[in-house]
């Protein structure tokens, strides 16, 4: 039965904490600086269970969560027992919600692994009727299963090469060491199988040159004149994950066909499903890491669990590998293990580029606090971890390792970027380098815009009156990367889920943005189908992209506003300084820059030409020049050192 307005705490002053006898003041009354935080169960960094007075209830503080709670009986009651669940703890409930969304994600993509009678007594993959586009179930796993060698686990993924021949499609390139003569026929014995060499195939290596098979004879050719030699285009750790799933798929299919104890699906369907299971487990790791960082606001993790974006893109690609490592790295930093955090960021970079971007915000905040040593440890850990994964492949398969860099430098603007929208709507070729193989102008422009965005974010982090939280700057950097990069594959938006849950736990705008991402994907698929195949033109898709971009910019503005006015920051209102800050939390500032308003006042006619000396705050922080910060209202409890509760 839903609680009445008299029972709902928000009707009696908007209390944040579910304890009838102890308000927020009692929850944070302990002196967190009196003892080491590891030994103090009341310290926010402690892993000890939070008391009821230290928990934030989203159905009391967020109107969207409060309305959604009507489905399960209404918001939490004032006298409810909180923190006593033995089985259904908040973390486990979040994991259950994520599992439900991941199951929905698999079902959403399952239309693309359906099978049909092939007319020969067997079955084959059914992609008829523009199914991947009209069902919006497209994913990179299914089409790459055979072309990238995922069906051959005995073959190391970066040893596999092929050539894109214009007008003839992909042709294999065989290693001469694997070619044998079998009764006058050339065959290739590789990865535990024997394959006949056909006319049009190529044999050779980058060092020894290539030959084409023409009427059974080897004819030396200049490979660059015939097409583009291709290798697996994914970073090494992602490629190793794909390879590991290949072996798991091989083991499952061998067991299924031998024993008959389990279903025997199509090979590609089994590969997709097994890969989805491993990707789902990795995403659950990301959820658990984010929940442990969130501390008293653990329920905000639901933003990345019950997510429309997760349902649509959980299994579009292999991004969950990097997302899990990045979230785990942030947890390690929050728990004051900078070297481990760096190792996890480095491994994440070995899977996708974006986790290494998180070192940028950490550098800014470490500079501000004067604590550079933890950042150096993290950077060294990242470099070593990245090198351990990549150097062996660089030495053994240099061309294959470089394929990721080559492809990303030569590819043009992706569909959901503003570069392609401008080119499509205006007819301009400026971003295509006027048809040149490499869009150098586009590459330089996107890099320059991102660099400017990083400089602006760094300046903001060093000049705003109160030090921003790690998650806030990290969200701004990754969002800026997506907005300025020439490639924004729709599933890249998954990168923002852990960050936005920590940086901006406001459910309504975040869920609105996530829904816009789902709409972008569906309209993109319909656009690929084409109007002639019951699809749509490109214009509805472009409209959805514009709305999506504006919503992300809105979220960025909200994050900036809360950093400028910490009294509106829900995380700091609850009493935490920076749950993701780790060694930086509650530290005084040592280095700041003047803010933009301060610089404008200096150059404005009649303004002061001198600088106002910084004065220490009541907590010993050195406050940079700039407008006074807006702080929490009187209902906000005394926070940790560095959190002012006085009104300006």
> Which residues does residue 313 pair with via DSSP β-bridges, in sequence order?
none
142: enclosing H helix or E strand: helix 141-147
* For residues 598-620, average pLDDT: 56
pLDDT in tens, 280-323: 999 999 999 999 999 889 999 999 999 999 999 999 999 999 99
Between CA 324 and CA 348 the distance in angstroms is: 8
Report the chain's terminal Cα–Cα distance, integer Å: 43
* Cα 380 to chain centroid, rounded: 22
Q: Residue length, the chain?
A: 648
442-450: long-range pairs with CB below 8 Å, 24+: 442/412, 442/413, 442/486, 443/409, 443/486, 446/419, 446/484, 446/485, 446/486, 449/484, 450/480, 450/481, 450/484, 450/485
Between CA 411 and CA 600 the distance in angstroms is: 41
Half-sphere CA count of 286, side-chain side, radius 13 A: 33
Identify which has the larger pLDDT, 183 or 545: 545
Q: What is the pLDDT of residue 192?
A: 65
pLDDT in tens, 389-403: 999 999 999 999 999
For 587-614, b/e burial (b = at least 16 CB within 10 A) is bbbeebbbbeebeebeeeeeeeeeeeee
Between CA 244 and CA 262 the distance in angstroms is: 21
Confidence of residue 621 (pLDDT cuts 50, 70, 90): very low
* For residues 210-228, average pLDDT: 86
Between CA 105 and CA 109 the distance in angstroms is: 6
Confidence of residue 645 (pLDDT cuts 50, 70, 90): very low
Between CA 388 and CA 237 the distance in angstroms is: 11
Between CA 235 and CA 241 the distance in angstroms is: 10
Identify which has the larger pLDDT, 86 or 34: 86
Q: Is pLDDT of 642 > 70?
A: no
Report which DSSP code applies to 173. E
234-243, 249-258, 423-432: lowest mean pLDDT where? 423-432
Give the Cβ contact number of residue 341 at 10 Å. Answer: 28
40-54, 60-74, 91-105, 217-231: lowest mean pLDDT where? 40-54
Confidence of residue 37 (pLDDT cuts 50, 70, 90): very low
Confidence of residue 166 (pLDDT cuts 50, 70, 90): confident
Q: What is the pLDDT of residue 629?
A: 40
Nearest to 412 by CA among 438, 434, 444: 438
């Amino acid at each position: 039965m839903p609680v009445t307005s008299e029972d709902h705490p928000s009707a009696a002053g908007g209390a944040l904490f579910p304890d009838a006898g102890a308000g927020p003041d009692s929850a944070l009354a302990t002196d967190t600086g009196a003892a080491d935080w590891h030994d103090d169960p009341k310290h926010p960094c402690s892993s000890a269970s939070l008391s009821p007075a230290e928990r934030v209830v989203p159905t009391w503080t967020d109107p969207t969560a409060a309305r959604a709670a009507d489905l399960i009986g209404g918001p939490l009651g004032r006298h409810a027992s909180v923190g006593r669940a033995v089985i259904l703890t908040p973390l486990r409930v979040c994991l259950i919600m994520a599992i439900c969304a991941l199951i929905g994600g698999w079902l959403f993509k399952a239309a693309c692994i359906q099978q049909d009678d092939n007319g020969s007594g067997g079955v084959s993959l059914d992609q008829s009727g523009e199914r991947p586009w009209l069902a919006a179930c497209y994913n990179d796993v299914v089409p790459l299963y055979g072309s990238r060698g995922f069906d051959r686990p005995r073959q190391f993924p970066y040893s596999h090469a092929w050539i894109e021949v214009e007008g003839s499609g992909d042709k294999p390139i065989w290693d001469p060491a694997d070619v044998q003569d079998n009764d006058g026929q050339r065959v290739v014995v590789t990865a535990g199988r024997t394959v006949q060499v056909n006319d049009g195939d190529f044999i050779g290596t980058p060092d020894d040159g290539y030959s084409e098979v023409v009427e059974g004879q080897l004819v030396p050719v200049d490979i660059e004149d015939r097409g583009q030699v291709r290798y697996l285009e994914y970073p090494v750790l992602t490629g190793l994950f794909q390879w590991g799933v290949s072996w798991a798929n091989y083991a499952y299919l061998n067991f299924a066909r031998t024993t008959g104890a389990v279903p025997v699906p199509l090979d590609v369907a089994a590969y997709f499903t097994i890969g989805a299971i491993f990707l789902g487990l990795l995403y659950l790791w990301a959820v658990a890491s984010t929940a442990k960082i969130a501390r008293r606001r653990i329920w905000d993790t639901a933003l990345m669990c019950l997510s429309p974006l997760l349902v649509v893109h959980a299994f579009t690609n292999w991004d969950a590998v990097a997302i899990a490592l990045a979230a785990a790295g942030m947890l390690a930093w929050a728990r004051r293990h900078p070297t481990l955090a760096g190792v996890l960021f480095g491994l994440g970079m070995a899977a996708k580029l974006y986790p290494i971007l998180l070192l940028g915000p950490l550098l800014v905040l470490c500079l501000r606090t004067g604590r550079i040593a933890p950042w150096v440890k993290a950077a060294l850990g990242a470099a070593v971890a990245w090198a351990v994964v990549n150097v062996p492949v660089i030495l053994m398969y240099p061309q294959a390792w470089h394929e990721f860099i080559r492809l990303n430098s030569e590819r043009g603007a992706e569909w959901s970027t503003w570069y392609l929208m401008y080119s499509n709507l205006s007819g301009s070729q400026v971003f295509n380098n006027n048809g040149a193989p490499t869009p150098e102008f586009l590459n330089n422009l996107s890099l320059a815009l991102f660099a400017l965005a990083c400089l602006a974010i760094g300046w903001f982090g060093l000049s705003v009156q109160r030090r921003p939280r790690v998650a806030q700057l990290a969200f701004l950097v990754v969002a800026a990367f997506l907005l300025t990069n020439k490639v924004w594959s729709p599933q890249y938006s998954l990168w923002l889920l852990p960050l936005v849950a920590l940086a901006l736990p406001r459910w309504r705008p975040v869920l609105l943005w996530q829904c816009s991402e789902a709409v972008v994907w569906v309209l993109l698929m319909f656009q690929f189908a084409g109007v002639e195949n019951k699809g749509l033109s490109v214009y509805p898709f472009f409209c959805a992209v514009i709305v999506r971009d504006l919503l992300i910019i809105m979220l960025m503005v909200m994050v900036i506003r809360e950093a400028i006015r910490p009294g509106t920051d829900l995380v700091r209102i609850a009493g935490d300084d920076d749950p993701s800050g780790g060694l930086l939390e509650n530290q005084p500032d040592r280095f700041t820059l003047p803010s933009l308003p301060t610089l404008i006042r200096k150059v404005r006619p009649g303004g002061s030409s001198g600088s106002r000396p910084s004065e220490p705050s009541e907590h010993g922080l050195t406050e940079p020049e700039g407008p006074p910060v807006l702080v929490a209202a009187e209902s906000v409890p005394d926070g940790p050192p560095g959190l002012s509760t006085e009104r300006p």
